[in-house]
Chain A
Amino acid sequence: MKQAAFEQQYQNSWQHFSEWLAQRSSPKRAAMANDLPGGLADQHFPAAYRKICQQLAIAKRRGYSPALVAKLQEFADHGHAVLYRAPKVRLNKLLNFFAVEFPQLVRAQWRFMALSGALFFVPLIAMVVLLQYRPELAFSLFDGQQLAEFEAMYNPAKQGVRLARDDQTDVMMFGHYIFNNVSIGFRTFASGLLAGIGAIFVLLSNGFIIGGVAGHLTAIGYGGPFWQFVAGHSAPELLGIVISGGAGLQLGWALVAPGRYSRQRALVEAAQVGVKLVAGVFAMLVFAAFVEAFWSSIAAVPAVVKYVVGAGIWAFFGVYFWRGGRAVVASSLVAKHAR
Chain B
Amino acid sequence: MRTLIDTVSAVETPEGISLGLRAAGCMPRALAWLIDFAIRLGILIAIASVLGVLGAAGQGIYLIVLFVIFWFYPVLFEVLNNGRTPGKAALRLRVVRANGTPIGWLSSFQRNLLRTVDMLPFFYGFGLIACLIDKNSRRIGDWIADTLVVYVDAAQPPRLIAATVNVALPVALSVEEQTALLSFAERAPSLTPERQMEIAEQLASLTGAHGLESVRRVLGMAGTVLGRSSLADQATRQIRQ
Contacts and interface: CB of A to CB of B under 8 A. Distances in A.
B37 interface: no
A213 interface: no
A64 B227 contact: no
Nearest to A68: B182
Contacts of B170: none
Interface of A: 1-5, 27, 49-50, 53-54, 56-57, 62-67, 70-71, 73-74, 76-77, 80-81, 84-87, 89, 168-176, 178-179, 182-183, 186-187, 189-191, 193-194, 198, 264, 267-268, 271-272, 274-276, 278-279
Given A65-B183, A67-B186, A267-B143, A86 B103 contact: yes
B227 A5 contact: yes
A178 B17 CA distance: 47
A198 B100 CA distance: 32
A80 B116 contact: no
A8 to B, nearest CB: 9
Nearest to B61: A175
A150 to B, nearest CB: 21
Given A2-B226, A190-B114, A268-B144, A64 B179 contact: yes
A272 B107 CA distance: 8
B113 interface: yes
B9 interface: no
Contact of B17 (A57, A74, A84): A57
Contacts of A198: 117
A237 B60 CA distance: 19
B64 A65 contact: no
Interface string B66-84: 1100110000000110100
B7 interface: no
A175 B101 contact: no
Contacts of A49: 15
A77 B179 CA distance: 22
Given A71-B158, A77-B153, A80-B15, 10 more contacts: A67-B158, A70-B156, A84-B100, A85-B101, A86-B102, A172-B56, A172-B60, A190-B114, A272-B110, A276-B106
14 contacts: A2-B227, A4-B227, A49-B15, A63-B179, A65-B226, A66-B182, A67-B158, A86-B79, A172-B60, A172-B63, A176-B60, A183-B71, A193-B144, A268-B144
Nearest to B179: A63
A187 B120 CA distance: 12
A264 B143 contact: yes
B116 A63 contact: no
B162 to A, nearest CB: 13
Contacts of A275: 106, 109-110, 113
Nearest to B173: A63
B175 interface: yes
Contact of B159 (A67, A84, A271): A67
Contacts of B198: none
Contacts of A63: 175-176, 178-179, 182
B67 A171 contact: no
Contact of B140 (A178, A187, A193): A193
B104 interface: yes
